Amino acid sequence: MSRRWMILAILALVPAVAFAGEKKQDEPKLDPPTKVPFRLSDTHHTIVRVKINGKGPFNFVVDTGCPVMLVSEPVGKKLGIEKGWATLDSLEIEGGLEMKKLKARIETPFQIEGMNGMGLPGVELHGLMGYTVLAKYKMEFDYTQKQMLWTPLKSDPLEPQPLGAGAKGAQGGMDMMVALVKIMTLFSGSGPVPPPQPRGFFGFELSGKDNMVHVTRVLGKSPADEAGLKKGDRIVSVEGTEVRSVNDVIAQADKLAAGKTLTIVVQRNTENHDIKITAGDGL
């Protein structure tokens, strides 16, 4: 038996939500179309950020496979809302969209619990944004871009229907798999990852041409200025690696948090100089 499919199966966010029928909500008229920034998680889920009742931001998966707005229980706790059906006073979506009085379900889907527990997505997931929100918009997904396009539609989303008595065992043991995968996670030693760190700040501008990289500006009082870097210097190497493009320089520097030192060799008036810049705080 392979673990691969198990993990993948819980990644497929088709939560089985059993719920009773609820009344439809009004929606405010919105301006067309809005750029909604998104990120692709390491699990290949499309994440948009929201603020609920002014709190957040929280990370939600854009999930047409989910019939409702599903908010995880820890987020519910932060908002002071108990498990079950709730009306959110406001839902802001990053990029500038806002909804008032939105019906949502406070409940942690086992997929979210499983993925967060393993630290798989690379970002903590707080819930699933499903049909009752998504159907208010015409949505454009384009993974070559950094933003989605959401255009408000005129008609209201339909009321989600309960599966009814005909559907038996909607979870069907999928929730058990989370427990299994969690145990396997223990053995593989995987788990939540440490929080990311900002890159350090150096304070100079670069341009590249004909396989050569030059310093085009050094900001006053910046770490680069204090280390003696000058405008016009040609960067020969960084961390002992020869440099042919701006990206070569950035690739080396991108590993360094504040406090770390970038060692570069520059050519100035035919002479080579060693320069050590200790990264400061900033961007």
Minimum Å distance from CB 177 to another protein? 8
* Residues contacting another protein: total by CB under 8 A: 114
Which of residues 27, 52, 67, 227 is near another protein by CB under 8 A? 67
Burial of 4 (0-12, 13-18, 19+ CB in 10 A): exposed
Coil vs helix vs strand at 11: helix
Please report, as residue ranges, which positions from 70 to 129 form the binding site for another protein (by CB under 8 A). Answer: 94-96, 118, 120, 122, 128
Give the H or E element holding residue 61: strand 55-62
d(CA 246, CA 275): 17
Minimum Å distance from CB 149 to another protein? 8
Which residues, other chains included, contact 184 with Cβ-Cβ below 8 Å and sequence gap of 6+? 3
Which of residues 32, 84, 198, 232 is near another protein by CB under 8 A? 198
Which of residues 32, 65, 84, 259 is near another protein by CB under 8 A? 65
Q: Contact between 249 and another protein (CB under 8 A)?
A: yes
Minimum Å distance from CB 106 to another protein? 18
For residue 62, the tally of other CB atoms under 10 A from its CB is 22
Q: Contact between 257 and another protein (CB under 8 A)?
A: yes
Please report, as residue ranges, which positions from 122 to 181 form the binding site for another protein (by CB under 8 A). Answer: 122, 128, 130-132, 134-135, 137-144, 146-147, 153-155, 157-158, 160-161, 163-164, 166-174, 177
d(CA 56, CA 91): 10
Minimum Å distance from CB 99 to another protein? 15
Judged by CB, which is closer to another protein: 80, or 169? 169
The pair of three-digit structure tokens given for residue 262, joined into one six-digit string: 């970038």
Please report, as residue ranges, which positions from 204 to 243 form the binding site for another protein (by CB under 8 A). Answer: 204-207, 216-217, 219-222, 224
Q: Contact between 48 and another protein (CB under 8 A)?
A: no
Amino acid identity of 259?
G
CA distances for 98 relative to 55, 66, 67, 104, angstroms = 13, 20, 20, 15
Which of residues 20, 183, 186, 283 is near another protein by CB under 8 A? 283
d(CA 3, CA 201): 42
Q: Contact between 3 and another protein (CB under 8 A)?
A: yes
Which of residues 44, 186, 210, 270 is near another protein by CB under 8 A? 44
Q: Angle CA(23)–CA(27)–CA(33) in degrees, nearest 5?
A: 140
d(CA 133, CA 63): 10
